[in-house]
Chain A
Amino acid sequence: MSPYLRALIYSLVIITLLLTVTAWSIWFERKFSGRMQSRVGPTFYGPFGLLQPVVDGLKLLQKEFLIPESADRALFVLAPPLTVILALGTAAVVPFGSEVVAADLDVGVLYILALGSLTTVPVWIAGWASNNKYSLLGGMRAVAQGISYEIPLALAALVPVILAGSMSLTDIVNYQIQHGWFVFWPPGPGFLAFLFFLPASLAEANRIPFDIPEAESELIAGVTTEYTGMGFGLLYLAEYLHTLIVSAVASALFFGGWDGPLLPGLHWMVAKTLVLFAGIFAIRWSLVRFRSDQLMGICWRYLVPIGLGLVMVSAIWVQLAKASAQ
């Protein structure tokens, strides 16, 4: 089979998988958050409301896509698809099984970080093109937050990279299959790096408590204020996709990817991703949000210095491990 055909097939499979999981994850979040809040959640469509995502999608499709008179039309239309494309693009290098990966890049982690920081651009485009003060404030906050949180995210992702000695996600997972998951071994840096990766990735994905770019209670809905219909739907979808991919990356970096007994690798990978995903939901529905200056303070005062320290500790660990092996 030609490598191009293989990449095409895998990318189609992964995109379908991701979109399906995202759609049902919205159902799951609504049901789960409902129970967290003593509500029943969706029950109308299908058993246990399982068809709710379909209905949501249909509703958004039916709605008119309004473009405000004073908006920058081209940019306004461009922004939502761009966010989804960038979010899906990140998924290319995530290994969902030992063979299920669209493009096994040697610099996979770097690629993820690069595309992750690019997602700030369409959000800013959306905020700017809406020509709304709330959207503009939201866009400004998104940019400030995105740029700041790139650094702790990169530092946290650097720890597994140093420990495994490779930037390819497949290699990192293979290393973990041999030497144990990074959250558990080596004790300390791996687990702490995960604890830092989680808030940083939440901030990247604009989830509570870091969702200040679209804070409903302050900025109404921030960048998404002026979007209607499928434009809003795509921005919404991109946010969920981003969260899903972040949890997939975290499970590959820290939880040994497809590593697990009995079941095939893909099952383990999806299970780990979904558990992390559910954890992010639970956090979202349990916390209030930060103020923007406090958000920056946490990044620059805590996450960045401690992240640097973690990178140093893991580098020392690798050297010590080499020395003791000789």
Chain B
Amino acid sequence: MMPYFVDTLRSLFITMRNVLRKPTTVHFPMERRVRAERYRASFALLHDQSGEELCIGCKACERICPSEVITVDAEKRESSVTGKKRSYAKAFTLDQNACIYCELCVQVCPTDAIVMTRTAQEPAFHRQTLCLNMERLYDNERTQPLTWANASRLIEMQAPPAKEPAKAQDNADADQTGQAR
């Protein structure tokens, strides 16, 4: 009989010690924890410094996406900045309802156009809200903090061993054929 009382007191001692500790949870909607620099939550499409859309509509992300949530429609038109004719994404949708946040689309982007953002999408009442179209992806570039990772940084980090000279720049140039051995 005695061990029950002693062990109860010992358990009580531990819980009481934790009463005095600072709570580890924060009250979520009002307070938010600081996310790591690489934290990946939502997506954004980027412009370059001159205001040109970076996405060239090459569909590399559409092809690699394991859960097939990205659809890209490409078109050729004249750039509003440089006036040169090049390919653009006409429509770009990313359905976050099924996205698994694997970062592969960021990894394969030849122009560093798609990156991830550090704030998660708010819970939504409609599935459509979680479906990001091109407009909202470009909005995210302005409104959301971006993660550290983009394609060229990832490739630099995963640089292959020295026997093959690192060709980060070459890789970045729309290496559509892949590196089949």
Contact = CB atoms under 8 A, between A and B. Distances in A.
Interface of A: 32, 34-40, 43, 195, 282-283, 285-287, 298, 302, 306
Which secondary structure dominates chain B's binding surface? helix
Interface in B1-16: 1, 4-5, 8, 11-12, 14-16
A306 B1 contact: yes
A282 B25 contact: no
B8 A195 contact: no
A253 to B, nearest CB: 19
B101 to A, nearest CB: 27
B12 A38 contact: no
A36 B25 contact: no
A197 to B, nearest CB: 13
23 contacts: A32-B19, A34-B23, A35-B23, A36-B15, A36-B16, A38-B21, A38-B23, A38-B24, A38-B25, A39-B23, A39-B25, A40-B25, A40-B27, A43-B27, A195-B5, A282-B12, A282-B16, A286-B8, A286-B11, A286-B12, A286-B14, A287-B8, A298-B1
Contact-residue size bin, chain B (C-beta under 8 Å from the other chain) = 10 to 19
A283 B8 contact: yes
Contacts of B11: 286-287
Contacts, number: 41
Nearest to A302: B1
A260 B81 CA distance: 86
10 A-B pairs with the lowest CB-CB distances in the bound complex, closest first: A286-B11, A302-B1, A36-B15, A286-B15, A38-B24, A35-B19, A40-B23, A39-B25, A286-B12, A38-B23
A195 B18 CA distance: 25
Nearest to A39: B25
Which secondary structure dominates chain A's binding surface? helix
Given A36-B16, A39-B25, A285-B15, 4 more contacts: A36-B15, A39-B23, A286-B15, A287-B11
Nearest to B24: A38
Nearest to A282: B12
B30 to A, nearest CB: 9
Contacts of A283: 8, 12
B149 to A, nearest CB: 32
Given A282-B12, A283-B8, A36 B27 contact: no
Contacts of B18: 35-38
B38 to A, nearest CB: 27
Contacts of B8: 283, 286-287
Nearest to A35: B19
Contacts of B15: 36, 282, 285-286
Contacts of A35: 18-19, 23
B5 A36 contact: no
Contacts of B4: 298
A35 B19 CA distance: 5
